[in-house]
Every structure is written in structure tokens, then in C-alpha cells.
Amino acid sequence: MKTMKAARFYQVGQPLLLEEIPRPQPGPEEVLIRVKACGICGSDIHIVYEGVTPTAFQPIILGHEFSGEIAEVGEGVEGWSVGDRAAVNCIVSCGNCPHCLSGNEQICLQRRLLGIQINGGKGASWVSTSTADWPNMRPFPSGTWPGCRTGYPLIRARS
């Protein structure tokens, strides 16, 4: 089994613990991303130091503002190849409701957030994410590694 290092959150007010854990494997319509950059958001501060934003489970890998390079593609993935650079949207939405179809996936009633309800990219070497979730990833040009939420909307606007 392949492993990776990940900084995981266990408890409010405690430091993240760097651990060796199983590396995710991409399933159907998923890609495995080697994380190259991950920003620190105010939400991360609220989770770790204040406990204001609860996570769905613990331990969890925080980090919903990351980008990286595709290392593996799962069955049925279209439009993405190994080596492609991807900025990942922290919102995993259904892609089918009126909100998603109008470009407002942030108010999808079925949305989940990376790093809060799903393992994220902070302190992680690898993240497996779905390409079926609309629109979860965007390509971006070489020379940069967006690592904050600002980068994703800018890239999305130019796509």
C-alpha cells in the first residue's frame, strides 16, 4: 500500500499532527492530485483555534484552497491527463440542481466542502477528487501554483 504524509486536525486548540497515512487512489471519474500549493484560510483558523466551524469528522485533513498536478486518472475521466495542472474548487456540489446549473454551486443544498466535510489538501501530499462534480477543477497556466480561494474564481472566469 502506498502512503503519504498528512497534517491532520484532531482537536480544537491542539497542533495538527503530521502522520503517515494511506495514499488515496482515484476511483471512477476521479483524479489523484499531487498537491503543490495550499493556502491558509480564515476558516482553517476558526476550525483549529476557535472551534467555531465544526468539521464532519476527526481526524481530518484541512485545506480547501489548493492546486497541484494530476498524477493518476481513474476510469471514465475525460479532459484531464497525467501532468495537467489543476486548481481545485473547495465546493463539491451535485452539478444537477438549478443552483449548480446557473453557476451558483456555492448554494447547492447538497454541497460538501473540502477540508471541512471531506479531507482537503493542507499538509497532504496527495488528494483524490472527482471530475464529475461540477465544476470542481480548472486548468491553469505554468509559472504559478494557486493556493488560495482567490485563484480558483479568477481561473474559472478566464476558462
Cβ proximity of 123 and 16 under 8 Å? yes
Pairwise pLDDT comparison (150 vs 16), residue with the higher score: 16
Q: Which CATH number fits domain 3-158: 3.40.50.450, 3.40.640.10, 3.90.180.10, 3.40.50.1220?
A: 3.90.180.10
Per-residue pLDDT of 92-147, as tens digits, reads 888 899 998 998 888 999 999 889 998 888 766 667 666 654 456 666 666 655 55
Statement: residue 32 has pLDDT above 80: yes
Domain ranges in the chain are: 3-158
Q: Side-chain half-sphere of 16: how many Cα atoms within 13 Å?
A: 19
Least confident stretch, 33-42, 67-76, 131-140: 131-140
**SS3 label, residue 153:** helix
Q: Alpha-carbon torsion 65, 68, 74, 79, what sign?
A: positive
Rg (CA), the chain: 15
What average pLDDT does the structure give for the chain? Answer: 81
pLDDT confidence bin for 158, thresholds 50/70/90:
very low
Q: Which residue has the higher pLDDT, 131 or 37?
A: 37
Distance of alpha carbon 102 from alpha carbon 124, whole angstroms: 32
CA-CA distance, 28 to 73, in Å (whole number)? 8
